[in-house]
Amino acid sequence: MTTVSSTSRFGSHISSVTLDAAKRKAYERDGYVNIGTVLTRSGIELMQSEFKRVWEDGHKTYDPTVGPLQDHLQYMPHLAAPAAFLRWFYFNGPLVDVVDSLIGPNIKGVGSQLSNKQKRTALPVAWHQDNTYGELSPDNAISVIVPLVDIDEQNGCLWMIPGSHLEGLVPVPGKVTDEVKRTRGQFDLGVDDRRGVPLPMRAGEAVIFHALTLHKSMHNHTDEDRLCLFMRYADADAVEVYNDGRPRIGKLLRGTSRFREVVSAELTLD
């Protein structure tokens, strides 16, 4: 069992989470589990305001004709000055201990995004595994989504296929190059839609899911933007399969790495 608490300057904005035996079992069985509330009300509000500021800054040249991967996902700019809580939460927040207890003790941050499924958008994100895009090895990386508003089927919550992480990587029809991501962005993996279950969540909760868990999200039919944080953590030695096995560069959050470039990555970021 892992219990997390914080006495940092952001302590009043986060909630302790416990990965008890039941949640661990659910994660191992289903490939995902809602671990409960990680942001307090004040934390949600602070995060929403940082999210919106960074989002607006990054979308000055917003192009609604691009695919959903560009339309509603924006790489989280760790370096963005006005996003101190966002950055702290990703690097030092309660999720790091949870990940540590599942894949630790050596962990790095390997990607983070702001996910804004904008009001009345007609752009779903198709079934995929997070290892579909940018495959990492070992394949035990953990993705986390924290909604900053309540999410359900009306505004485009996640859908999951329980147990799909046990079935391996679904082959994609072609190489996932940056150009493919930019132009088509998504693949039809031939997934049986009937296996999917919706995952409604309350603002401030966190769902963790495995790199091989099939998931998707549908339209936002409401008049409010659907804001979620997306964060991904991996073993500190994880390498990029699609890139000749080179190490994925990301900030070392726990333990050590055999790759010097990981040990020295983003050292100045708190």
Closest approach, Cβ 226 to ligand AKG, in A, equals 8
Strands 197-199 and 158-160 turn out to be antiparallel
- Out of 100, 130, 135, 139, the residue judged to bind ligand AKG by CB under 6 A: 130
Regarding 265 and contact with ligand AKG (CB under 6 A), the answer is no
Regarding 209 and contact with ligand AKG (CB under 6 A), the answer is no
Regarding 259 and contact with ligand AKG (CB under 6 A), the answer is no
Regarding 159 and contact with ligand AKG (CB under 6 A), the answer is no
- Out of 117, 210, 248, 251, the residue judged to bind ligand AKG by CB under 6 A: 117
Question: What is the pattern of x (binds ligand AKG, CB under 6 A) and - over residues 37-76?
Answer: ------------------------------------x---
From residue 14, alpha-carbon distances to 112, 229, 230 in Å are 18, 14, 16
- Out of 131, 213, 217, 257, the residue judged to bind ligand AKG by CB under 6 A: 217
Closest approach, Cβ 87 to ligand AKG, in A, equals 19
Closest approach, Cβ 268 to ligand AKG, in A, equals 27
Q: Is the peptide bond before 138 cis (omega within 30 degrees of 0)?
A: yes
How many residues in the shown chain lie near ligand AKG by CB under 6 A? 10
Q: Are 225 and 116 in contact (CB under 8 A)?
A: yes
Quote the Cα angle for 37-43-44, to 5°: 75
Using alpha carbons, select from 222, 246, 197 the residue that is nearest to residue 117: 222
Burial annotation 123-145 (CB, 10 A radius, 16+ → b, else e): bbbbbbbbbbbbbbbebbbbbbb
Copy the structure tokens of residue 216.
């998707």
Q: Which residues contact ligand AKG (rule: CB under 6 A)?
A: 73, 115, 117, 125, 130, 156, 215, 217, 228, 230
